[in-house]
Chains A and B, each alone.
Chain A
Amino acid sequence: MTKISFLSIKKFFRIKSNITICILLSICMSFMCVVNFLPVSVKNYWDNHLLNNVFYRTYMLYEQGKNNYIKQILDDMPEVAGAYTFDGYYSLTSMEELTDEYNETPVIMVHGFVNPPEVVEGSQIDENNKDENLLICPNKFYPFVRNDMVKDPENGYLDTTREIDLRKYLNKEITLASDLGDGEKTKFKLIGLYDTKNNRFMDKSMCFSYYSNVQELNKSAKGFSKDNSLIYELNKISDAHLVEAKLKELGYYANPSVTLNIEVATQSFDLFIYLSKGLMIIILLIILIISFIRIKKDEKNLMINKLLGYNNQQFSIQCITNSILTFIVTLLISMPLIFGLWKLFQIYLPQYDSTFSGIKILFSYEALIKMIILLALILVLITIINIISKFKKNLINIIKS
């Protein structure tokens, strides 16, 4: 550090507007940081509470950018062809192992819910249209609990007390017994399986409900259906079309009735995300205004320093020293603020928004690092503006003004 930086450090702490900027930046950064704890916390929660929780995983990626969402579907989880919401639960469709024969099949539903032991209301199979009772399901699962059974087409009834592997039934007709009162059995043709290595379908108390076709699903998803079809709800219809197009590229047929409803979850975050973004913009504007006022006010000191023989290198050192100090002071103020806000969110957020009830708000180092990087970038930008403005000012022009 040069001797001149030593004086700059002393001066920095004597200028009130420097501290004001640090405080504003701290408030902004802390809020943004803690808001970014939320998706991490929710993701963690659903990772531990929902089967596959593909919906939230994809939602989180979606929130980070549409391309990421697409990337998620295409690269990370090729087995996922779509997802829909139903009555607050989230399901997915898988097409990973669809046979060529059924590439064009418009039926893509089956998944388990944490809703045992009753089957979700309205999910009865359409007896008059058995040909369309096609099935995709996890390759391993526990069949229905209680006294329901899955009929093995070759060997009779399957053992319902252990996990079964359905791979050998692919493209074969099987019968699932409904647990709705009379034990009615319905025939299905198993057209696809998806890998369950990562799902947590471990609890025997879980069963799965199923839908053989979109119309059936429509009947069930009363609150979400319009015009006898489910609606694309990828927030923007264009995004949904994009997903559809990508799926087609892969050789899959995405039924337009399949809903990708992220609305429910986005409601929970939108407020905070928009607030943090809005706050960021407002505070950036304030910082820019303060910076420009300071540059204007600082003209006298700039003139004095130029007269006394400051060169461009020394001006740069001065600006960089100021920015480093702003960075350090902002971080120092931010840390307790982040901690305090985090605690406040932990206490009051579940009361404010029931979506968060039971969800533990986790501290995310990733969010913290992102915030620090963002702060550094803002300060680099301000430093560059300051240095350029100081280089450009001509001594004689400052004196005349």
Chain B
Amino acid sequence: MDNVVAIEIKKCSKIYHKNGKDIVALKNINLSFEYGKFYLIVGHSGSGKTTLMNILGLIDSKYDGIVKINNKEVNNLKSKELAKIRNTNIGFIFQDFYLDNFLTAQENVLTPMLINQKKYSYKEMEDKSQILLDKVGLSERIKHFPKELSGGEQQRVAIARALANNPNIILADEPTGNLDVENEEYIFKLLKEMSKNFKCIIMVSHSKDAKKYADVVYNLENGEINYDED
């Protein structure tokens, strides 16, 4: 799936209206993200990174321009269809992990599969979630609740959850922001490995080491993009 475009955005702009003023978050951005590559988006605070991620993740649908996922325009889709795409095509990883504290590690990983419903029986889903947690080195912790896990472990659960429905696109917003160096390296390696499995990895990070793993780095400045390809 090399050189196949996963996400494409054209002439994308986003303006916030606050206290009677217009704040331009993104200015006429044109970008495409391919499968099998690891993209890194960097930039100062307020440069528009999170806004871009929200648009790419179909979280924010109020913007100007065109967004295509797998060459299909998503601008005018209904919320139910957007939810379906988020569930099956995109995996999310966040700085704050966003795990459900009332569910065990395994149940957190199960959730996207349950939302997806039809494919597997509950037992099959449990087996699959166990395999995913095993992959991220948490096979011994599947029955633990998030509060019983360290930050690094929680992030690994979040990664396993992001992979639950085997999505082709992974969006990671500061995934190592709350982790130590050792865990950071582990997460980056994991993401890199995923990109080698023909997934499109898009990551926002302030980490200096992140560039070592990225195939493409986009630098956002005041809502505009500069990029270097290694």
Q: How far is the CB of B160 from chain A (nearest CB, A)?
A: 13
Give the distance in Å from the alpha carbon of A322 to the alpha carbon of B61 in the complex: 31
Question: Could you tell me if A3 and B122 are in contact, using CB atoms closer than 8 angstroms?
Answer: yes
Contact with B along A1-18 (1 / 0, CB 8 A): 011101100110011000
Contact with A along B72-116 (1 / 0, CB 8 A): 000000011001101110001000001110110001001110111
CB neighbours (8 Å) of B80 from chain A are: 311-312
Within 8 A of A (CB), among B104-159: 107, 110-112, 114-117, 122, 125
Given contacts A308-B115, A395-B59, contact A11 B102 (CB under 8 A): yes
CB neighbours (8 Å) of B102 from chain A are: 11, 14-15, 301
Give the distance in Å from the alpha carbon of A11 to the alpha carbon of B161 in the complex: 17
Question: Could you tell me if A307 and B92 are in contact, using CB atoms closer than 8 angstroms?
Answer: yes
Question: Could you tell me if A309 and B107 are in contact, using CB atoms closer than 8 angstroms?
Answer: no
Give the distance in Å from the alpha carbon of A399 to the alpha carbon of B98 in the complex: 11
Q: How far is the CB of A318 from chain B (nearest CB, A)?
A: 11
- Asked if B54 is at the interface (CB within 8 A of a chain A CB), the reply is yes
Give the B interface residue count (CB, 8 A). 30
CB neighbours (8 Å) of B62 from chain A are: 396
- Asked if B60 is at the interface (CB within 8 A of a chain A CB), the reply is yes
Question: Could you tell me if A4 and B98 are in contact, using CB atoms closer than 8 angstroms?
Answer: no
Q: Which of A2, A309, A312 contacts B87 (CB 8 A)?
A: A309
Q: How far is the CB of B129 from chain A (nearest CB, A)?
A: 12
Q: Which of A3, A307, A310 contacts B98 (CB 8 A)?
A: A307
Give the distance in Å from the alpha carbon of A172 to the alpha carbon of B29 in the complex: 108
Question: Could you tell me if A396 and B103 are in contact, using CB atoms closer than 8 angstroms?
Answer: no
Q: How far is the CB of A6 from chain B (nearest CB, A)?
A: 7
CB-nearest residue of chain A relative to B94?
A307
Specify the main secondary structure of chain A where it touches its partner: helix
Contact with A along B52-79 (1 / 0, CB 8 A): 0010010111100000000000000001
Give the distance in Å from the alpha carbon of A312 to the alpha carbon of B84 in the complex: 12
Question: Could you tell me if A4 and B114 are in contact, using CB atoms closer than 8 angstroms?
Answer: yes
Contact with B along A233-245 (1 / 0, CB 8 A): 0000000000000
CB neighbours (8 Å) of A15 from chain B are: 102
Question: Could you tell me if A311 and B84 are in contact, using CB atoms closer than 8 angstroms?
Answer: yes
Specify the main secondary structure of chain B where it touches its partner: helix
Question: Could you tell me if A300 and B59 are in contact, using CB atoms closer than 8 angstroms?
Answer: no
Question: Could you tell me if B54 and A309 are in contact, using CB atoms closer than 8 angstroms?
Answer: no
CB neighbours (8 Å) of A399 from chain B are: 54, 59
Q: How far is the CB of A294 from chain B (nearest CB, A)?
A: 12
Give the distance in Å from the alpha carbon of A15 to the alpha carbon of B84 in the complex: 28
- Asked if A304 is at the interface (CB within 8 A of a chain B CB), the reply is yes
Most buried by B among A7, A11, A308, A314: A308
Question: Could you tell me if A306 and B111 are in contact, using CB atoms closer than 8 angstroms?
Answer: no
Contact with A along B21-54 (1 / 0, CB 8 A): 0000000000000000000000000000000001
CB neighbours (8 Å) of A312 from chain B are: 79-80
Question: Could you tell me if B112 and A309 are in contact, using CB atoms closer than 8 angstroms?
Answer: yes
Given contacts A307-B59, A395-B59, contact A6 B54 (CB under 8 A): no
Give the distance in Å from the alpha carbon of A2 to the alpha carbon of B118 in the complex: 10
- Asked if A83 is at the interface (CB within 8 A of a chain B CB), the reply is no
Give the distance in Å from the alpha carbon of A281 to the alpha carbon of B125 in the complex: 45
CB neighbours (8 Å) of B110 from chain A are: 7
Given contacts A7-B107, A15-B102, A399-B54, contact A310 B115 (CB under 8 A): yes
Q: Which of A11, A301, A309, A314 contacts B86 (CB 8 A)?
A: A309
Q: How far is the CB of B90 from chain A (nearest CB, A)?
A: 9
Within 8 A of B (CB), among A300-330: 300-301, 303-312, 314
CB neighbours (8 Å) of A306 from chain B are: 83
Q: Which of A14, A300, A309, A396 contacts B115 (CB 8 A)?
A: A309
CB neighbours (8 Å) of A7 from chain B are: 103, 107, 110-111, 114
Give the distance in Å from the alpha carbon of A36 to the alpha carbon of B116 in the complex: 48
Q: How far is the CB of A273 from chain B (nearest CB, A)?
A: 40
Question: Could you tell me if A308 and B86 are in contact, using CB atoms closer than 8 angstroms?
Answer: yes
CB neighbours (8 Å) of A396 from chain B are: 54, 59-62
Give the distance in Å from the alpha carbon of A162 to the alpha carbon of B100 in the complex: 83
Q: Which of A6, A11, A300 contacts B122 (CB 8 A)?
A: A6
CB-nearest residue of chain A relative to B158?
A304
CB neighbours (8 Å) of A14 from chain B are: 102
Q: How far is the CB of B220 from chain A (nearest CB, A)?
A: 18
Q: How far is the CB of A2 from chain B (nearest CB, A)?
A: 7
Q: How far is the CB of B71 from chain A (nearest CB, A)?
A: 21
Q: Which residues of B contact A (CB under 8 A)?
A: 54, 57, 59-62, 79-80, 83-84, 86-88, 92, 98-100, 102-103, 107, 110-112, 114-117, 122, 125, 161
3 cross-chain pairs, A with B, having the tightest CB-CB distances, nearest first: A309-B87, A396-B60, A309-B83
A-B contact pairs, 29 of them (CB 8 A): A3-B122, A4-B114, A4-B117, A7-B103, A10-B107, A11-B103, A14-B102, A15-B102, A300-B98, A303-B98, A304-B98, A304-B100, A305-B115, A307-B57, A308-B87, A308-B92, A308-B111, A308-B115, A308-B161, A309-B83, A309-B87, A309-B88, A309-B112, A310-B83, A310-B115, A311-B80, A312-B79, A396-B54, A399-B54
Beyond A3-B122, A396-B54, 10 extra complex contacts between A and B, CB < 8 Å: A7-B111, A10-B107, A11-B103, A14-B102, A304-B98, A304-B100, A308-B115, A308-B161, A309-B88, A310-B115
